[in-house]
Structure 1
Amino acid sequence: MNVHYFKSETALKIRAYLDMHLPRYTELLRAMVEINSFTRNQTGVNRLGDYTNKVFSELGFIPERVASVIPAYGKHLVLTRRGAGGRTIGCVSHLDTVYSPEEEEMNDFMWRVQGDRAYGPGTEDIKGGTIVMLMTLEAVRHAAPGLFEEVAWTLLFDASEEMESDDFGVLCRERLGRSALGCLVFEAGIIRDLNFSLVTSRKGRAEFRITVSGKGAHSGAAHRKGASAIVQVADVIKKMEALTDYSRGLTVNVGRVAGGSLVNRVPHSAEAFAEMRAFSPEVFEAALDEILKLNGYSSVSSADGRFSCKTAVEIVRRVPAWPDNPGSNRLLGLWQSAGELLGVRAIQEKRGGLSDGNFFWDSVPTIDGLGPSGGNPHSSERSPDGSKEQEYTVISSFAPKALLNAMAVIHMIESW
């Protein structure tokens, strides 16, 4: 006789287990946060990978370390566990954070607990998510051991998500293939009252470098012979920013500009760095085409008519859009069913920021935002007046989120 676990009794058993073990999970998070894993701190990233492997090894996972395509970065971590059946579920997190050791020391940014908040590097993004991943797996094993043993699990941890993750996306596609039931990404997810936000789509992103060649000249004696690269790049910036269309979910942002040398010289060079984001692949590609049309663009010439500025537009990096899609929505349906069982609501969120999910949503059904609730990601500063506050996670959000995840996973295994 088949035993079904997607029921209230299972949820009660899981919640009791998670509540009992919350002090242990909090201590594991503290240990992770105390390891500096800034992307460029190769030693720290690998040390966190070793610790993460140790934590998950108690569930029977076998480690593999995969070198990044960038030698200066740490190694990606892949943890696998064979299942009795032929089905696979993938889980994704990352090892790195945005904080250098120097920044942490300068801002006295370290593990501290204040009320229901745990502050520290990566508490929300994404070491807290790694702990919720562990909690989810342990909960399924505790309450539905037969289902846990049936599934093959592949856990993938990116060593360089905060800077360069294209090769990790390829790794995920290779290891999960197209037959996995789904891939669960443990970036943070906001919880407000009984509403749990889950991410089913993210904007794609293209980064650009714009360089302009002008003609230098003495700003007093030969101004008419000069062609200002700064004036030209300003015109290009206006045209790029004008592409922003909120109704289509399209944004263009020029975030850095430099040019010229001295105030007594017509500037002969200028450059700008920009990004474009969109949810829809069609909107993304159309905007990309419009921006690339500015390559070779010239609207500024010297007053004597002998020289025209030249614009060059270069794509530095592109991350594909993760649009609304049936696979992610189908997974969302499982979380919504689990939410109904638990008396909470799983809310669909379309997020403007990137995650590793952008690279493989079209290969395997993907859902994101499965980590804990928190705030101030990528923020290390703290001010006495409270206008600046450091990254934190909400401790009381861990058990409810892991419970929702575990019940949805149980529902997935039993119904798919």
Structure 2
Amino acid sequence: MPDADAGALLADRAAAAQPQMLAQVLAWSAINSGSQHLEGLARMAEVLAGAFGRLAPVERLRLAPQQIIGADGVLRERPLGQALRLRVRPEARWQVLLVGHYDTVYGAADAFQQPRWNADGTLNGPGVADLKGGLAVMLAALEAFESGPQALKAALGWTVLLNPDEEIGSPGSAPLLAAEAARHDVGLVFEPSALPDGTLAGARKGSGNFTVTLRGRAAHAGRNPQDGRNAIVAAADCVLGLAALAAPAQGISVNPAKIDGGGAVNVVPDLAVVRFNVRLAEPAQQAGLFAAVQQLCAAIHERHGCTAELAGGFTRPPKPLDARQRALHDFVAGTGAQLGLTLGTRDTGGVCDGNNLAAAGLANVDTLGVRGGAIHSPDEFLIVDSLAERARLATRLLVRLAAGELDRTLFARETRCC
């Protein structure tokens, strides 16, 4: 069978699986897999292992625990769920990494737990777009590709990596992502499209999560307040200083997000914990921003007599659209055009595992999942017809890669600079 005929047939086969994909999304959305809900993550991992296990044996990979600073200022370890991995034809010429996460931002106590239909025919539910719909698309595309002729499959090997901690910055799976990036030629990440019309994410900002622990001195608020060192006042000064570090014209944003601390109103508080997020446009901005926060901490100590200890770091480096990224985006857009799709590109301040893969040297397109929107909110929705549309696109991409329609010399592992 000619490659062009195989591509069309297999893409149609993937699209025809839409009823099965929809059933999967409905079932998977009803399983709470919030990033810290270990019981729900384990249940979701079991279901996914059964579904993807039809393709190849599924490895369960233990992740190192997440390091967190509690509201009491104490560093603790928080356990994470397991990552799932399966490999097929690791000896093939092309090696493609397919990535998706199965955690969501909705915890076990969240009111948003079940999918339901919207009046406009879209599906509302936790994770329907981000990213359980993408997992269904990934699976349908792989099943269709694997049903194709052996001569086509022999040219392409693939690895699936499904992680349980993407929504909290992939603290445990980041080493796995970097290791897999080193042994693959291109990456396909099944985050939802950047816009409901199917637009792909282009350049992405980088992200860092930080904590400043402020320790002062307790005292009676009436008898001897002058002997105290008010950690809440220091925290307020810290927050204002952090906000002042934002530089929108340079693509730098700083979001002070939470303050823990304080207690009885007649006690000068001796502890506060400030948590904040930073977004950066360029990798070179990381060192300067980090130094500025350290200087702020030193100034807080000088002004308030409270120690200010900085913890955290940049978990996802910026993802610029370099020549290799652009070439892969063009290839995906060209594949879409063959299917009658117009796939634009839009830069975004959002981050995902595509940032990690790019930082490790792997060119990737990271919005191959479903079309939808309002992610990370109770209004999250999936445009149901996009299940077939995106499964068709992903299948056609795999076929075109296997057929040698993308110049591998630009992407090959052996030629990538470390």
Could you tell me the TM-score, scaled by structure 1's length? 0.83
Asked whether the equivalents of residues 116 and 396 of structure 1 are also in contact (C-alpha less than 8 Å), the reply is: no
| Letter matched to residue 25 of structure 2 | L
Asked whether the equivalents of residues 200 and 366 of structure 1 are also in contact (C-alpha less than 8 Å), the reply is: no
Pairing partner for 1:372 from 370, 373, 376: 370
SS in 2 for 1:322: coil
Distance 2:79 2:218 in 1: 39
User: Residue in 1 aligned with 2:297?
Assistant: 295
Task: Go from structure 1 to structure 2 and tell me whether the alpha carbon gap of 1:332 and 1:145 turns closer, same or farther (over 3 Å shift).
Answer: farther
User: Residue in 2 aligned with 1:407?
Assistant: 396
Following TM superposition, by how much is the alpha carbon of 1:133 offset from its aligned partner in structure 2, in angstroms? 0.8
Percent of paired sites with the same residue: 26
Structure 2 residue 158 is matched with structure 1 residue 158? no
Asked whether the equivalents of residues 99 and 189 of structure 2 are also in contact (C-alpha less than 8 Å), the reply is: yes
| Letter matched to residue 61 of structure 2 | V
Asked whether the equivalents of residues 105 and 376 of structure 2 are also in contact (C-alpha less than 8 Å), the reply is: yes
Asked whether the equivalents of residues 334 and 411 of structure 1 are also in contact (C-alpha less than 8 Å), the reply is: no
Asked whether the equivalents of residues 22 and 387 of structure 2 are also in contact (C-alpha less than 8 Å), the reply is: no
Asked whether the equivalents of residues 232 and 300 of structure 1 are also in contact (C-alpha less than 8 Å), the reply is: no
SS in 2 for 1:97: coil
Could you tell me the TM-score, scaled by structure 2's length? 0.83
Task: Go from structure 1 to structure 2 and tell me whether the alpha carbon gap of 1:36 and 1:211 turns closer, same or farther (over 3 Å shift).
Answer: closer
Q: Deviations over 1:283-314 (max 9, x none)?
A: 2221111111223224776xxxxxx5234131
User: Residue in 2 aligned with 1:68?
Assistant: 63
| Letter matched to residue 368 of structure 1 | D
User: Residue in 1 aligned with 2:116?
Assistant: 112
Structure 2 residue 277 is matched with structure 1 residue 275? yes
Question: For structure 2, which runs of at least 5 residues remain unmatched after alignment?
Answer: 66-77, 409-418
Equivalence map 1:79-228=2 (5 Å): 79-82=86-89, 85-103=92-110, 106-107=111-112, 109-114=113-118, 115-141=120-146, 146-163=151-168, 165-178=170-183, 180-193=184-197, 196-220=198-222, 222=224, 226-228=228-230
Task: Go from structure 1 to structure 2 and tell me whether the alpha carbon gap of 1:143 and 1:316 turns closer, same or farther (over 3 Å shift).
Answer: same
Structure 2 residue 330 is matched with structure 1 residue 330? no
Structure 2 residue 271 is matched with structure 1 residue 243? no
Task: Go from structure 1 to structure 2 and tell me whether the alpha carbon gap of 1:38 and 1:230 turns closer, same or farther (over 3 Å shift).
Answer: closer
Task: Go from structure 1 to structure 2 and tell me whether the alpha carbon gap of 1:117 and 1:317 turns closer, same or farther (over 3 Å shift).
Answer: same
Distance 2:269 2:53 in 1: 60
Pairing partner for 2:361 from 350, 359, 363: 363
Equivalence map 1:382-401=2 (5 Å): 389=379, 391-401=380-390
Following TM superposition, by how much is the alpha carbon of 1:101 offset from its aligned partner in structure 2, in angstroms? 3.5
Distance 2:221 2:40 in 1: 51
User: Residue in 2 aligned with 1:346?
Assistant: 343
Q: Deviations over 1:340-361 (max 9, x none)?
A: 3233322223332222222221
Following TM superposition, by how much is the alpha carbon of 1:14 offset from its aligned partner in structure 2, in angstroms? 4.8
| Letter matched to residue 21 of structure 1 | A
Following TM superposition, by how much is the alpha carbon of 1:169 offset from its aligned partner in structure 2, in angstroms? 2.1
Equivalence map 1:6-21=2 (5 Å): 13-14=9-10, 16-21=12-17
RMSD in angstroms over aligned alpha carbons? 2.8
Asked whether the equivalents of residues 14 and 141 of structure 2 are also in contact (C-alpha less than 8 Å), the reply is: no
Distance 1:147 1:13 in 2: 13
SS in 1 for 2:34: coil
Following TM superposition, by how much is the alpha carbon of 1:221 offset from its aligned partner in structure 2, in angstroms? 5.2
Distance 2:323 2:339 in 1: 24
Distance 1:73 1:224 in 2: 44
Distance 1:396 1:213 in 2: 54
User: Residue in 2 aligned with 1:257?
Assistant: 259
> Which one has the largest radius of gyration?
1
Distance 2:278 2:30 in 1: 35
Equivalence map 1:43-62=2 (5 Å): 43-58=39-54, 60-62=55-57
Worse-matched range after superposition: 223-232 or 248-257: 223-232
Following TM superposition, by how much is the alpha carbon of 1:144 offset from its aligned partner in structure 2, in angstroms? 6.4
SS in 1 for 2:382: strand
User: Residue in 1 aligned with 2:69?
Assistant: none
User: Residue in 2 aligned with 1:305?
Assistant: none
| Letter matched to residue 281 of structure 2 | F
Q: Deviations over 1:180-212 (max 9, x none)?
A: 22011111114555xx32224332222222233
SS in 2 for 1:154: strand
Distance 2:374 2:289 in 1: 30
Asked whether the equivalents of residues 209 and 276 of structure 2 are also in contact (C-alpha less than 8 Å), the reply is: yes
Asked whether the equivalents of residues 250 and 284 of structure 1 are also in contact (C-alpha less than 8 Å), the reply is: no
| Letter matched to residue 75 of structure 1 | Q
Worse-matched range after superposition: 216-225 or 242-251: 216-225
Following TM superposition, by how much is the alpha carbon of 1:23 offset from its aligned partner in structure 2, in angstroms? 0.9
Q: Deviations over 1:196-255 (max 9, x none)?
A: 322243322222222334455555554555554333332222221111111221110111
Distance 1:50 1:28 in 2: 14
Question: For structure 1, which runs of at least 5 residues remain unmatched after alignment?
Answer: 302-307, 381-388
| Letter matched to residue 335 of structure 1 | V
Distance 1:17 1:260 in 2: 60
